Structure 1
Amino acid sequence: MRIVIDLQGAQSIGSRNRGIGRYSLSLTKAIISNCANHEILVVLSGLFPDTIIPLRNELEGLLSQKNILVWDAPQNVSYIDKLNDVRRESAEYIRESFLATLNPDMVLVTSMFEGLVDDAVSSVGLIDRKIPTACILYDLIPLINSSTYLDNPDIKKWYEAKIAHLCKVDLLLSISESSRQEGIDYLGSTNEFTVNISTACEKHFRPLVINDEYELSLRARYSLKDTFIMYTGGIDHRKNIEGLIRAYSNLPQNIRDKHQLAIVCAIQENDRTRLGALAKNHGLDSHEIIFTGFVSEEDLVALYNLCRVFIFPSWHEGFGLPALEAMSCGKAVIGANTSSIPEVIGLEEALFDPKNDQAITDMLVKVLCDDDFRMMLASHGLVQAENFSWDKCAITAIKAIEHWHVQNITLEQSLFTEKGLKLAYISPLPPEKSGISDYSAELLPTLSKYYDIDVVVEQNYVSDQWIRQNCNIRSVEWFRENHSSFDRILYHFGNSFFHQHMFDLLMNIPGVVVLHDFYLSGILGNMEFNPTNNYIFSKALFKSHGYKAFKDKYGTKNIADTILQYPANLEVLQNSLGTIVHSENSKQLTKQWYGPSMSSNMTVIPLLRSSGIIIDRDLARQRLSIPKESFVICSFGFLGESKLNQRLLNAFICSKLSKEPDCYLIFVGENNNGQYGISLVEIIKKSGLKNRIKISGWVDKDTFRDYLASADIGVQLRTSSRGETSAAVLDCMNFNLPTIVNANGSMADLSRDTVWMLENEFTDRSLIEALETLWADEEKRKNLGDRGKDAIRTLHNPQECAFQYFKAIEQFYENPKSIIFNLIHQISNIKSIDEEILMLLVSNSLAKTFPAFPMQKQLFVDISEFIQQDIKSDLLHVVWNVLKELIENPPISYRIEPIYVMSNNFGFMYARQYTSNKILNIPNNFLLDQPIDFDKDDTLISFNTSLSDPYTSKHKYSIFEAKGVKISFALHDWLNMNNLATVSNVGNIAKESIDVKQLQNYIIEQLA
């Protein structure tokens, strides 16, 4: 299971320094230590930045820092009171949505009753997504004693809201049997899923020998005599301090003369005055009762060890931890016989009625005067304390979560649900000259089994009869206005002008993307020539591939080189809820360009092909004017250099087939309109075979199928694959054609039993051999064609592919990105969210909590000193050269990002203007300095020029450290390695001693 622990109980101002804070952290540590095979994530609120690094340090060695996650929400806008309820509500939505994106099997909330005096956020069940939730139940004292604790209407409103959330949790983990019963009685919780996990105290609460010097110091500090009766646990009505003072005052004078009463806890001045007056009214001198005020943990343990007896007279406790702490220190403990205290003390003889002053007095007399009784209590306490440990608490909690999970996990529901979801299908459609339009015409009829489909097109006419009869045909403009009426949205992206309207649509209206072509640089490059598109390719290039690609674009004479080299598709991947591709090759390209984890939101669905298409071969040949008894080799698709048409043409001319008058080679597709196409025509002319070698030009679907039915062999070659899947290969196989391919791109994924597979870098001789062998061997042609046809029936069946589409779309609409888009919609509907200051805060929190996904890892290089001081030195040139080296040869999976801190220390900015203009000397008309986005997988490198004290400014990196970003001081560390750290003249070091390439290699090593 994945158990996510919300550790705000150890962060909030209201709880961090109290028992709840200690309990939250201790239980978390113990769960981590006893989690067996379960995955533990700890989530922290970014609203308490001063607690994040200390808590990370507390968990160091127990839990990977990558498993400690930070979410952010708007802070309290105290100067705009009317907005605070809105701020809190948006923060609750953000927190729950963040937890949902982690896909937890259980979220453990360590404290629900938070946020009254600070920005802590706790809620259950606000968003649509079900988040299994367990919560620690400390007590329900204010609910049970509402007249005492909830007389303030604001506090009552806050508390009742928390109770409402608590009633919605799936599993209550109480800290005592008493609080467990409260949950059952007052919250209606079930016996089965209200579990007492108990509590424990820290190991430093133990018997100690206090040295004389420390003891004298303590006694002097707190005005304590030789012996004292001790109470600790806070000043509160239920704590019964008044009853304790009255009972103490009833002790015989000779006992009081020997035993002070020490109230050891923080105390407000008004309570000190009030209780002091009560003591005086009951005849107590000022030295007889001591109010210590707050004491440190070290002093508390010592005071437990020094007291003669510990008393705990509280009327109502969730557990009563001070009693356990005192017993663990080997002290005699007496306490009230109410709520949870009897189960802590575990001895009836040590209990009294807290509402009977005389009963308390009698118990004090007995324990102070009867040495045997007191020693028995002390011995019992040490044994009883052994029954409580954090390991036991954690193991009980984990077993309770496991039990809930087993009882409540639902079997995966069949995805065959009643039709009713409305799908917007955005794609070119026939008669557009696009393979994707024909593909969509095949997919739509089978996909309509699962969705009520409207097609959205940027074309004047749709020719496909089934689509016209069964789907509403919508314009892009109509869709922009009415997109909210759809349950699901599916985009089909390709690398041609038919898809140019989709980029803006996807950015504003998220949906699932079918990425037919991995490279989108071709269409984006063409779009950039339109001035209204405002550097669309350059922006996509930089966003996808960083400064290296940006530099390559401006360093080449032919932009086509850059278009061919870079996919430029990251923004489409990030804006999609999920991506469907047609081959494993596309997933491999995603990993290659963006890192190993970047394909996690990508699903492979084979390109569907309808079987059962029967076309009479003789009639097809008759329609195409192909001689009935001829032998025909066809290659299908647009002609171009990447299709290796010239290689096939030359191989045919050089083969035996060219000498046979009944052998034909036909290129079925539109010729290249450039020099490549011209050269193909020239070669055909010079060959003397122009009557048997033909380029058909573009053909409609029916003619295309006639060629498939007429062919004897299909040849589909490729080089420099850019992630596309060859529909033509599948068409050949579907028509029983023995098909020759080379192992390039997605074609390499085909089984070698189903096609004649050449090597990727094949020789002309191997292609000629394939043509001549299949021409000469009819049985081999038949067997290969049959195996190809069977593969299409098995893997590319339209019904199976449509079902896979349905599964993928539904899963993507359940994934974290869908949660985030829903969150944005929910927040936008909150009343008053349009207030500018609050919207700014919310937007900032969303950016921090939900970084774009998939996201490349970033290597930040802090160049603040150079930007702010405009340093012109040898060191500056070193930094520039290192940056240039990193940009030219970035570490695998990393994106290089120089950054700087703003002069008001408000935050860090991307140094895009400085980097492009000053370091790379590239004109930059569109890259602006913006606040940085960062996540735990990123790394920060600082070039600090203060060699004597390189970490003096480390505090400015606390926001990175809190998020888990690795921080290195590259220059200082590298110089230290080379025994140069003591040299004070940085310029001379830079000029004489630093090997730039070696320093760059050192930085890369730090990322490993």
Structure 2
Amino acid sequence: MRIVIDMQGAQSTGSRHRGIGRYTMALVQEIVRNRGDHEVILAVNGYFSDSIEPIRTAFDKLLPLENIQVWNTVTPTAKAETDNDWRRHAGELLREAFLAGLKPDVVLVSSLFEGLTDNAVTSIAQFTRDFPTAVILYDLIPLIHHEIYLENPVVKAYYSEKIEFLRQADLWLAISESSRQEGISHLGLSRDWSVNISTDADGHFRKVPVSAEAESELRKKYGLYHPFVMYTGGIDHRKNIEGLIRSYAKLPKKLRSSQQLAIVCSIQAENRRNLEALARKCGLEEDELILTGFVTEEDLVRLYNLCHLFVFPSWHEGFGLPALEAMRCGAPVIGANTSSLPEVIGLPEALFDPHSDDDFARLMERALNDEDFRARLVKHGKHQAMKFSWAESARRAIEQMERLVAHQKSQSTNSVPDRRLKLAYISPLPPERSGIADYSAELLPELARHYDIEVVVVQDNVTDEWINANCPIRTVQYFTDNASSYDRVLYQFGNSAFHQHMFELLGTHPGVVVLHDFYLSGISHYMEAHAIEPAFWTKELYHAHGYAAFHDRYHSKDEVDVIWKYPCSLSVVQNSLGVIAHSQNSLRLAKRWYGDNGDNWAVIPHMRDPHVNKDRALARQALGLGVDDFVVCSFGMLGPTKLNHRLLEAWLNSRLGADKNCHLVFVGENHPGTYGVELLETIRNHRAEKNIRITGWADLDLFRNYLAAADMGVQLRTLSRGETSGTVLDCMCHSLATIVNANGSMADLNEQAVWMLSDEFSDEQLITALETLWQDGDKRQSLGKRAREVILEDHDPRYCAGQYQDAIENFYKSAQNGLPGLLPAIAKKSATAQPDTELIALSSHLADCFPLRPQKKQLLLDVSGLIGNRKNTAIRNTLREWLINPPGNYRIEPVYASGENEYRYARHFSAGLMGCPEHCLQDEPIEFAVGDIFFVLDVPQSVQTMHSDFYQTLRVRGVMIQCLVDDASGIQRLQNLGGDATLFLEEILGGRVF
């Protein structure tokens, strides 16, 4: 379960330094400590930048840095401004979209009633109900006492709106049973989903020794020269301070003469004058009432420990934390018998009627005069205080959120749209010589059960009869002109020229991508080499893989090596609404190359039509094969990655190669280069030549004839590039015992359904597999039967089409809860056009909150002092080494200051440093995110000081800042490491260079 916690209760101006702020920090820390297998992410409002570092520090040892996520929004100002509604509503929508983007199972709102006097933003279900929401319910005091607290119409409107948000929550975690009952009785909240999780006092509220010297100094500081009756908790109408003074004045004068009444809290000047006037009116002497004003936390703990009696006369509390704090410090405590205080104090005889000065005075007098009663209060308080625990409150909160998530999942159903959705299907189609074209022809009839489909193609004609009869065929221009008429867009992406038009389309019209080939470097290179898109491959190498790939592009002896090395598919992954792959191998590659955690991926088995219509005998007759012939087939275009030469060599060295009835057939087009020539030469030079054949391009009929005629299949791979072998599935579908090796996606095949060799198999292992399956008919039959069962279970087109619909709808649902859905929602909130300044600010915050994903962490190297300065040879050589050989988990990006608060990527400088052309890449403003490192490399101290505000912005966003003071220290560091740039880089990443 992923728990996302809105931390504004510990950030806002009104709550951060008060009880709600302390409650938020203490409870959330315990939730994190007791999270078990759950993941916790803290969402913090970037506007309250001064609160973010303390939060990071508090959770430094408890959570990874990236689990504290910062969001920014347009900042509302005073709520009374009529033109402020757009900002406020936009902020609410942005916040909810940001939370949805964290993919929570549940969101916990630490304090909903925020934002009246500052830029806190809270709401529930204004943009999305994609996640259940739990809210901490402190109290409903303003609602219950509305005549006191809601006289101001602005405050009333604000509070009423928050109450409606509160009703939209799914779970209410009350800080006391009293607050729980208030929610049930005054708002009609569900009894089942309103839960008392209670609270606790901070650990520093405890019995502590106070030396005579410290006590004397403290008493002198506040004018407390006698035993004193203490109250703390704020000055507010409901706190009943006037009743406290009146009741205290009713004590016998002799008793009062030996005591003082200390009201320990901040107090405004007007309140001070009023309370002092009341005390004089009630006959209290000047030194009988002490109004301390603000006291430090340390002094507060000591005063709790020293007081003769602690009283808490409030009419209404959500919990009444000071009473618990006082008990923890060993003070005798009495309090009002209203709201939550009876459950906090837990002793009926320690309670009084706060509306009766006489009752209050009587209990005070008893507590001051009766030593046995006071001792009983102290003893009871010690045991009562042990009933409250942050760990227990956190345990209850987690337990209830678990219950909520389980309930939501049990209630969730896939909603059926009120109309059939219209889907644009973008793919090559038959007669194009593409496996993806054939795949689409099989998928479309089943997918049409779920959508009204129009196909978008760039070919002259489509030959598939079903597609022509059932799907309107559209050009790319038609699709572009009518894109808004489609509800869904599905791209079938592969690594061939058939897909060149899709890159631009995907960038302007995002949709779901089916990534048949994780490596798109072949088509990327093709588009650049044929001037379809200038420098397309070069830019994608840099974008997807950084400067190392950019360097290789210009310094490798053979471009083919670079094409094979780098996938170049990051832009497609980032621009998609979601990616569908056919095996877990693609997810492994995405993790390896891009740091992608797979949140926006779905794995749907490669589809295969289970109907086998070819008759074996007729197929053999058509192919000129005899009844006694044993036929081994390898299907697909031939090439080095298919290891056709390994199969050929093993065959020739096995007993099958010497048997006149054994035939080896490569069903596919031969490699056009040297590899294909060498295969033909090997075959011609062997006595078994007549039993080995390469068919050349096989049309569908020939292909199916060999599938029907074969006795066994062999499909081998090396250097997998993320593709899924459809031909393996074809073999399995036709019940062929098939030999494979555990390379790429084939490693994910069911090992009970194929003969699985190791990835790096030996010739002897392949020969053994060939000979065993040739001789063991039962083994062949068993493998073939299980293979067919796997196809029927997992690869049936109708089953796969259902998974397609689920994946597409889930991706679009996530998109609607993200940036694609947020922009029109914000637009609807504005009755009039907004100024450019507002829109620019909004776009900046959107970019911060919704960066392209996935993205590796960056090591941002400030090279401002190196640009135009060729003297620092050691640092420049080190930087060049870092660019060419970066660490696998970080992207090295030199940057430079282009203004007082702006940095740009130093792409021209970096390209020149590596001896590459500088014109391909542009120096754009930098982007940064939590977990990045900003390293100030050889920048004068004066320049660093100039950019201190920018550095603070980086820190707020979770970027670690490190620096070298000057060039001399940098050179010395390198010398100490023997000039080893790699060790120097490891020190930076390990946080050891400052």
Asked if TM exceeds 0.5, the reply is: yes
Tell me what 1:132 maps to: 132
Of 890, 899, 909, 2:895 maps to: 899
1:872-923: per-residue Cα shift (whole Å, max 9, x none)?
Answer: 54xx43333333333333223332223345542x365433333223455542
Distance 1:263 1:717, change over 3 A: closer
After TM superposition, list the pairs within 5 Å mapping 1:179-198 onto structure 2: 179-198=179-198
Distance 1:386 1:250, change over 3 A: same
Distance 1:871 1:212, change over 3 A: farther
Of 967, 983, 988, 1:999 maps to: 983
One-letter amino acid of the structure 2 residue matched with residue 849 of structure 1: C
Aligned-pair distance for 1:757? 7.0
Tell me what 2:854 maps to: 854
Tell me what 1:205 maps to: 205
TM-score (norm 1): 0.85
1:819-847: per-residue Cα shift (whole Å, max 9, x none)?
Answer: 45433453354326854333333333333
- Please give the secondary structure, in 1, of the residue aligned with 2:298: helix
Task: Kindly tell me the number of residue pairs found equivalent between the two proteins.
Answer: 989
Deviates more, 1:795-804 or 1:424-433: 795-804
Deviates more, 1:719-728 or 1:162-171: 719-728
Q: Percent identity?
A: 49
- Please give the secondary structure, in 2, of the residue aligned with 1:44: strand
Counterparts of 1:80 and 1:336, CA distance in 2 = 37
Consecutive unaligned residues of structure 2, counting only runs of 5 or more, are: none
Counterparts of 1:820 and 1:145, CA distance in 2 = 41
Tell me what 1:977 maps to: none
1:763-816: per-residue Cα shift (whole Å, max 9, x none)?
Answer: 899989999999999999888766765654455333333344344434444558
Kept in 1, the 8 Å contact 2:177–2:196? The answer is: yes
Tell me what 1:218 maps to: 218
One-letter amino acid of the structure 1 residue matched with residue 138 of structure 2: Y
Deviates more, 1:520-529 or 1:351-360: 351-360
After TM superposition, list the pairs within 5 Å mapping 1:337-736 onto structure 2: 337-369=337-369, 373-405=373-405, 409-410=409-410, 413=413, 420-529=420-529, 531=531, 533-556=533-556, 558-595=558-595, 598-599=597-598, 601-615=600-614, 636-638=635-637, 640=639, 642-643=641-642, 669=668, 698=697, 700-706=699-705, 708-709=707-708, 718-735=717-734
Counterparts of 1:723 and 1:184, CA distance in 2 = 56
Tell me what 1:928 maps to: 923
Distance 1:481 1:79, change over 3 A: farther
Counterparts of 2:878 and 2:859, CA distance in 1 = 13
Aligned-pair distance for 1:393? 3.0
- Please give the secondary structure, in 2, of the residue aligned with 1:861: strand
After TM superposition, list the pairs within 5 Å mapping 1:263-274 onto structure 2: 263-274=263-274
Tell me what 1:13 maps to: 13
Counterparts of 1:401 and 1:751, CA distance in 2 = 38
Tell me what 1:913 maps to: 908
Deviates more, 1:527-536 or 1:20-29: 527-536
One-letter amino acid of the structure 2 residue matched with residue 328 of structure 1: R
One-letter amino acid of the structure 2 residue matched with residue 556 of structure 1: S
Counterparts of 2:890 and 2:945, CA distance in 1 = 25
Tell me what 2:169 maps to: 169
Tell me what 2:796 maps to: 797
Root-mean-square deviation (CA, aligned residues, Å) is: 4.4
Tell me what 1:978 maps to: none
Distance 1:461 1:46, change over 3 A: same
Counterparts of 1:113 and 1:992, CA distance in 2 = 56
Kept in 2, the 8 Å contact 1:884–1:920? The answer is: no
Aligned-pair distance for 1:555? 1.6
Distance 1:894 1:992, change over 3 A: closer
Tell me what 1:975 maps to: none
Counterparts of 2:729 and 2:954, CA distance in 1 = 50
Is 2:24 the counterpart of 1:28? no
Distance 1:232 1:463, change over 3 A: same
Counterparts of 1:757 and 1:383, CA distance in 2 = 67
Counterparts of 1:63 and 1:633, CA distance in 2 = 56
Is 2:71 the counterpart of 1:71? yes
TM-score (norm 2): 0.86
Deviates more, 1:618-627 or 1:534-543: 618-627
1:38-90: per-residue Cα shift (whole Å, max 9, x none)?
Answer: 44443332222222221232234444545443333333467995664323323
Kept in 1, the 8 Å contact 2:104–2:131? The answer is: yes
One-letter amino acid of the structure 2 residue matched with residue 91 of structure 1: G
Aligned-pair distance for 1:496? 1.3
Is 2:877 the counterpart of 1:877? no
Aligned-pair distance for 1:386? 3.4
Distance 1:396 1:412, change over 3 A: closer
Distance 1:726 1:362, change over 3 A: closer
Counterparts of 2:570 and 2:884, CA distance in 1 = 20
Kept in 1, the 8 Å contact 2:864–2:939? The answer is: no
Kept in 2, the 8 Å contact 1:913–1:929? The answer is: no
Counterparts of 1:741 and 1:37, CA distance in 2 = 37
Deviates more, 1:111-120 or 1:418-427: 418-427
Distance 1:693 1:67, change over 3 A: closer
- Please give the secondary structure, in 2, of the residue aligned with 1:231: strand
Deviates more, 1:277-286 or 1:137-146: 277-286
Counterparts of 1:238 and 1:780, CA distance in 2 = 85
One-letter amino acid of the structure 1 residue matched with residue 613 of structure 2: I
After TM superposition, list the pairs within 5 Å mapping 1:761-780 onto structure 2: none
Kept in 2, the 8 Å contact 1:422–1:453? The answer is: yes
Aligned-pair distance for 1:434? 1.4
Tell me what 2:863 maps to: 863
Distance 1:1002 1:224, change over 3 A: same
Kept in 1, the 8 Å contact 2:79–2:154? The answer is: no
Tell me what 2:884 maps to: 888
- Please give the secondary structure, in 2, of the residue aligned with 1:449: coil
- Please give the secondary structure, in 2, of the residue aligned with 1:799: helix
Counterparts of 1:636 and 1:482, CA distance in 2 = 41
Deviates more, 1:168-177 or 1:731-740: 731-740
One-letter amino acid of the structure 1 residue matched with residue 884 of structure 2: E
- Please give the secondary structure, in 2, of the residue aligned with 1:143: helix
